[in-house]
């Protein structure tokens, strides 16, 4: 049986080492590669990635989030809340029950003490009123 030679490369030079050194070297090398994969997976930033002025905005920009859409949605929510505040107490209660507390039409009708078709008609009139308020405020 022949003895196997173990080599590692140091500064592009092939160096013969013992089996223990060889195994320790590759164990450490594999560990470093594993940690680098984790860093890429978790999007870790390194100081060396910054440009000379210390800017790194291009690196951390998240292209999966549409900021304009978020702002538009936020504005729409604010406008809707303002429009709801202009409703009467009964109208506001019906909208809150149906859309925010997610109650059924039957439950809302029982709570108010009326028939469900009456709630449906009121809901439709309220939604039309909200639509007009929102269009007027654009």
CA distance 24 to 28: 6
Confidence class of residue 103 from pLDDT cuts 50, 70 and 90?
very high
Residue 92 scores a pLDDT above 90 = yes
Q: What is the pLDDT of residue 125?
A: 96
Q: Which residue has the higher pLDDT, 95 or 41?
A: 95
CA distance 137 to 93: 22
Residue 48 scores a pLDDT above 90 = no
Sign of CA dihedral 60, 65, 69, 71: negative
User: Do residues 19 and 6 touch, judged by C-beta distance below 8 A?
Assistant: yes
Q: Looking at the whole model, is its pTM more than 0.75?
A: no
Spell out the residues 6+ positions from residue 53 whose beta carbon is closer than 8 angstroms to its own.
none
Structure tokens at 18: 């013992």
Confidence class of residue 10 from pLDDT cuts 50, 70 and 90?
confident
**Average pLDDT taken over every residue of the chain:** 86
Q: What is the pLDDT of residue 34?
A: 93
């Amino acid at each position: 049986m022949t003895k196997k030679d173990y080599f590692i490369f140091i500064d592009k030079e092939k160096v013969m080492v013992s089996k223990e050194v060889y195994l320790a070297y590759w164990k450490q090398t594999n560990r470093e590669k594993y940690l680098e994969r984790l860093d890429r997976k978790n999007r870790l930033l390194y100081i060396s990635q910054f440009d000379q002025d210390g800017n790194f905005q291009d690196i951390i920009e998240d292209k999966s989030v549409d900021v304009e859409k978020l702002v538009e949605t936020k504005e729409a929510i604010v406008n809707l809340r303002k429009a709801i505040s202009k409703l009467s107490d009964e109208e506001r209660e019906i909208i809150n029950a149906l859309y925010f507390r997610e109650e059924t039409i039957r439950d809302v009708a029982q709570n108010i003490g009326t028939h469900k078709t009456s709630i449906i008609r009121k809901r439709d009139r309220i939604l039309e009123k909200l639509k007009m308020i929102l269009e007027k405020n654009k």
